[in-house]
Structure 1
């Protein structure tokens, strides 16, 4: 992820008391690389504690990825009052093979990111977020 993309996620998470969410577009080979971040709308009836990504964002992300030879590699969401560890709800809703970036909040109100890859058995394995200097591809 570029520093600008990381900043985008942190700013979106800081913008309110509801869980922010969106889609990560990029490539999986030779390593997982986020090349675009698309913010979504949280349609969950309890958005302060859960998220439900709107279908329009998912469809748009799929179209962008296909048109540019990339793919949806994962999703992100925030925990406005919690850590960046996957919750039980996160574990139940996770898609195996996809990246999940969670934006956590410290007791002091600082935001931070953790990335996870979901295995076929539903296990979450941490990933290193390495800021890249590559320019993001157009959306």
Structure 2
């Protein structure tokens, strides 16, 4: 995996992670939260010193979970990576898709937009 990450260039970039899904059989907010957190491995992209990562989830992620992933970064001080990590949440535990929750909150969308340094160097991970 590290070889794949190393292939990214060192230019500034912003990665926006919005793990939304529309499945009627979700059943509970806990299952939804687990689905949204399954992309936390993308925090490893913060190994790139000029990468910023915006991670959006329906509910706040426990700090200990974030610490775990940041501690996996070889050669990177966790506090340096944390400064480039932005965790956002509408604080909505309903089983609606995250994308719908965001569309209902234009100020949160604007906050996400404001964290993107260069729109030409940003990409969305669904």
User: TM-score normalized by structure 1?
Assistant: 0.34
The structure number with the bigger radius of gyration is: 2
Higher relative contact order (CA 8 A, sep 6+): 2
User: TM-score normalized by structure 2?
Assistant: 0.36
